[in-house]
Amino acid sequence: MLMSADRLRNVKVSASAAMTDKARELRAQGIGIISLSSGEPDFPTPLHAIEAAHKAALAGDTKYPPQPGTPALRAAIQRKFKRDNNLDYAIGEILVANGGKQIIFNALLATCNPGDEVIIPSPGWITYADIAYLAEATPIPVPCPENNGFKLRPEDIEAAITPRTKWLILNFPNNPTGAACTRDEMRAIAEVLLRHPHVLILTDDIYEHLTYDGFKFCTLAEVEPALRDRVLTVNGVSKAYAMTGWRVGYCGGPKSLIDVMNNVHGQATGGITTVSQAAAVAVLDGPQDLLKERATIYQARRDLVVELLNAIPGITCHKPEGAFYVYPNIASCIGKTTAGGRAIETDTDFVSALLEEAHVAAVPGSAYGMSPHFRISYATDIDSLKEGCLRIAQLCAGLSS
């Protein structure tokens, strides 16, 4: 008999992970799937990171690590925050965990009580809401409309804040839309938060280095230093350095918050893998040229995908400022039928047809809180992107009223 806790009642299986798993299953059956569902860089981990991990292992650095992170990694993170974000965090204000996801888990589990509210931009990464549910808080979605570039409007944040609000989560550049906030737009958000001193703010900056067309990234604690004692600045090495499997996330924030997060961290997992920490030191302190080089490649992929999608009747695609996703609008496809006889009533129907009839894996917009859209990751090679968009076009060409 399966017994699950009530806290899991509203927690969903990750749609992107489920779609990626389905694509793997079909590939194993010999079907040629183009997977555009996974938010994972296709670049290799930098060689100097692998060498640092190997060296650490050979040197015997394989014992239990310090729970909040090794002194070497926390110092490297301290230097990174100062170098890239003009943020001065003491070593005791820095925590390392098993990916950015665990940082967010630690933060909400350590601070939320039943009845607390967590404001989350919508569309947004579904894990934010699921972690809020696990923390027995209530996620409050706030729309980021397409006609505003999928960005938060200050007046909508203001309207969403109540005496029960515990956190506002910011993720710009954003998953799933790629939208990013200018300094002026971030300043406008800060002005709202200055009026509500009871609200904590988590900024998920994992796509910080993936911005295009000269766009300048900014983070809230740097834009408005008066908010620093209420901001948890979250980052990691997974997206920028193509180190998803190394599981290294980190954050900077007020020591009182870091201390209670570290308490949760110790009970959930404890300190993270020593060799991963050595690898993270190597990339954070090492040459940073690869970040711009890879961002240039991603920009070319973005431009290609946006152009190809906008050429498809029934699809419109906003050009995002960052990350490696696009979030096409398929409103004109709803209510039609595919050549294979599938009725397209929702974006989930569209994505299912795309996988089963065109053999392209993507993620429905409903998973992120805004329909009718779907998410494509362009963190893959140009040939796969071209073929994937061609198959999307062929599916749309076969739609009938």
Q: Are residues 32 and 74 in the same domain?
A: no
Phi, psi of 234 (to 5 degrees): -110, 140
Under the banding of pLDDT at 50, 70 and 90, the label for residue 359 is very high
Using the predicted structure, report yes or no on whether residue 3 has a pLDDT greater than 80. no
If asked whether residues 176 and 90 sit together in one domain, one would say yes
**Domain termination site, one of 285, 309, 324:** 285
SS3 label, residue 120: strand
Report yes or no on 194 lying in a domain: yes
| Residue 228 sits in the same domain as residue 212 | yes
Q: In terms of residue numbers, what domain contains 174?
A: 48-285
* 3-state class percentages of the chain: helix first, strand second, coil last, to nearest 5: 45, 15, 40
Asked if residues 334 and 365 have their Cβ atoms less than 8 Å apart, the reply is no
pLDDT for residue 166 is more than 70: yes
Do 70 and 214 belong to one domain?
yes
pTM score, whole prediction: 0.95
pLDDT for 27 = 80
The structural domain count of the chain equals: 2
> Do 205 and 115 share a structural domain?
yes
Same domain, 60 and 180: yes
Please compute the mean of the pLDDT values over residues 178-205 and round it to a whole number. 98
Average confidence (pLDDT) over 137-147? 97
What pLDDT was estimated at residue 2?
A: 64
pLDDT of res. 164: 98
Does the pLDDT of residue 325 top 80, yes or no? Answer: yes
One domain, residues 228 and 359: no
pLDDT higher than 80, residue 18:
no
The answer, yes or no, to whether residue 1 has pLDDT greater than 70, is: no
- Same domain for 55 and 185, yes or no, is yes
**How do residues 91-110 score in pLDDT, each as one tens digit?**
999 999 999 999 999 999 99
| Mean pLDDT, rounded, for 335-353 | 96
Task: Give exposure, 179-203, as e/b (b: 16+ Cβ within 10 Å).
Answer: bbbeeebbebbbebbeebeebbbbb
Which of 220, 252, 285 is the last residue before a domain boundary? 285
* Average pLDDT over every residue of 253-276: 97
User: What is the per-residue pLDDT across 29-76, written as a single tens digit (0 to 9) for each?
Assistant: 888 899 999 889 999 999 999 999 999 999 999 999 999 999 999 999
Q: What is the pLDDT confidence band of residue 10, given thresholds at 50, 70 and 90?
A: confident
> Crossing angle, helix 99-111 and helix 126-134, to 10 degrees?
40
**Co-location of 271 and 298 in the same domain:** no
**Residues 81 and 187 placed together within one structural domain of the fold:** yes
Which residues touch 159 (CB under 8 Å, ≥6 apart)?
Answer: none
Query: Of the candidates 285, 311, 335, which is a domain's last residue?
Result: 285
> What are the C-alpha distances in Å from 126 to residues 233, 237, 340, 366?
19, 21, 31, 10
Say yes or no to pLDDT of 122 above 70.
yes
In a domain, 1, yes or no: no
Region 9-14: what's the mean pLDDT?
Answer: 79
First to last CA, the chain: 46
Position 13 scores a pLDDT of: 75
One domain, residues 182 and 268: yes
What CATH number should be reported for the domain holding residue 356? Answer: 3.90.1150.10
**Across all residues in the chain, what is the average pLDDT?**
96
